[in-house]
Structure 1
């Protein structure tokens, strides 16, 4: 006996007609009629009879309704129990750089919390070198960061993305200060930065040293959003992952300044200890990374 047929019996009892039940269930009336005939054939009784414009239960139908109610209730309890057994619980500790958690991971985090609301999710926002050290010292379950150095083989790496970098300034910047390709300059422009240890800032600082370009005293700000606002206000220039400023570049609120930096991109990775990969919270998070950011490549590296 099919459960959906029993739900149809209850819907006819609730609405008083085959047609109204069909409308409520989004069935054709012929489907409802067929389902009731199936139930009646299996039980060997007539369930309904017409009284005026309504379909009412026969005496036999009234006797079986409590049993039908019990079957439906038991099925719902069984489904609920199965869902509870399959729920993901526990704790997941992740560390991510500010740029990735703010501009890349928000849709993924939304999906994760919807699918695993009972998991205690802790996200630490750190620079890539600190994230690496915490992952090596087993203080994290997952690490997502720009690739800084190789891990030992017991840690699996997945490719997260390749992200171009860009030097940005306000459209109001003096044209004389826009040249970052000519060597041997002393420029009265401030470099706005959020963390001197950020990998992309190390790339830019090395470029300035190689080109012998000296800038004014840098200004350290607490977030990328603050840096962007400050650049828009013409307080200085900033070297950032391009995805963090795409919107402002599109709206011409910021402009891109050319450089001769050849390694003008960052590779981001996801790191996880191999022995932990099958833990439900970690497995779900890795699955969402794969679905959100494309097929990942697991590639272990030697220390």
Structure 2
């Protein structure tokens, strides 16, 4: 059994196919197939099966996966033993929403790469519910996301900071459409959405439903930048974390509309699997995350504090 074969197994899971794994590892697809066949013959188990277009683990593969991860993590620990931060190696997979990646995590990423330039940092911009599930099932080493609840007992998570949310519109929006306080009305304006499944969009959709406020339509644009541009062009209104539109609010490109929402905040958390070995790259990243984002670092529980020492 070769260590690189085990890394191939993990890469197939991360990328979803033999072909993608070959591309990422700079192998031919036949090499990937050969390595998996060698493992299957040696262990006398079938590791993968095809479901649709994706290669997924068999039941036996799922049982063996934690052992594979333990071996790879132990190998990384040995490689990094006694090394300075600048010399540590490995890969850190961080899943996070677009809003935090662009507007809050840049200082963390910059300092991480300055201090650990040899670590491969794999960033996965995803919906927060998907991030939560990816952390649970091993698709990400670390999740930085808004608190969507539903954490399994095997997940370690900690609050980072609270962020305000805001309903924005163009200054050109008709005065008649400014009112989002009165219930039982139809707005002749569209809702502009970057992610229909985001925690803040779900929150606002629930508000509209509870107050029987009906929108004229929905425009899905796929990114926060496109959302802001669409709002400033008076294509509709949008509900976003305030920090994503602070500049536009300050320069008057967009304006804030009032609502009767009880709570205008969402909470950012970081999470990882309790069985996950907190190696040098992840320990460094967690420490930087705490320094830059955590609003109450003294409230971190013992297990997280140990990870950050």
The TM-score with structure 2 as length reference comes to: 0.68
Query: CA contact under 8 A between 2:136 and 2:272: conserved in structure 1?
Result: no
Instruction: Output the CA distance in 1 between the equivalents of 2:254 and 2:129.
Output: 29
- Provide the residue aligned with 2:181 in structure 1: 181
Listed one character per residue, the Cα deviations across residues 75-111 of structure 1 (whole Å, up to 9, x for unaligned) are: xxxxxxx866862210000110111111110111011
The alpha-carbon distance between structure 1 residues 86 and 105, as it changes in their structure 2 partners (threshold 3 A), is closer
In structure 1, runs of 5+ residues without a counterpart are 1-81
Listed one character per residue, the Cα deviations across residues 258-282 of structure 1 (whole Å, up to 9, x for unaligned) are: 0001122101100022343531011
- Provide the residue aligned with 1:155 in structure 2: 155
Displacement of 1:299: 4.7
SS of 1:188's partner is coil
- Provide the residue aligned with 1:236 in structure 2: 236
Query: CA contact under 8 A between 1:276 and 1:282: conserved in structure 2?
Result: no
- Provide the residue aligned with 1:286 in structure 2: 286
Instruction: Output the CA distance in 2 between the equivalents of 1:209 and 1:155.
Output: 32
Counterpart mapping for 1:1-303 below 5 A: 87-276=87-276, 278-294=278-294, 295-296=296-297, 297-299=299-301
Displacement of 1:159: 1.3
Query: CA contact under 8 A between 1:192 and 1:218: conserved in structure 2?
Result: yes
SS of 2:187's partner is strand
In structure 2, runs of 5+ residues without a counterpart are 1-81, 303-309
SS of 2:189's partner is strand
Displacement of 1:160: 1.5
The alpha-carbon distance between structure 1 residues 181 and 109, as it changes in their structure 2 partners (threshold 3 A), is same
The alpha-carbon distance between structure 1 residues 176 and 284, as it changes in their structure 2 partners (threshold 3 A), is same
Displacement of 1:155: 2.4
Instruction: Output the CA distance in 2 between the equivalents of 1:95 and 1:174.
Output: 39
Instruction: Output the CA distance in 2 between the equivalents of 1:283 and 1:274.
Output: 14
Count residues in correspondence: 220
Displacement of 1:157: 1.3
Displacement of 1:298: 3.0
Instruction: Output the CA distance in 1 between the equivalents of 2:173 and 2:118.
Output: 50
Listed one character per residue, the Cα deviations across residues 170-207 of structure 1 (whole Å, up to 9, x for unaligned) are: 11111000000001111110100011111100001100
When Rg is computed on C-alpha atoms for both structures, the one with the higher figure is: 1
Query: CA contact under 8 A between 1:188 and 1:216: conserved in structure 2?
Result: yes
CA RMSD of aligned residues (A): 1.9
Listed one character per residue, the Cα deviations across residues 106-132 of structure 1 (whole Å, up to 9, x for unaligned) are: 111011111111111111111111111
SS of 1:276's partner is coil
Query: CA contact under 8 A between 2:92 and 2:281: conserved in structure 1?
Result: yes
Query: CA contact under 8 A between 2:169 and 2:236: conserved in structure 1?
Result: yes
Query: CA contact under 8 A between 2:169 and 2:231: conserved in structure 1?
Result: yes
Instruction: Output the CA distance in 2 between the equivalents of 1:130 and 1:143.
Output: 10
Instruction: Output the CA distance in 2 between the equivalents of 1:85 and 1:217.
Output: 52
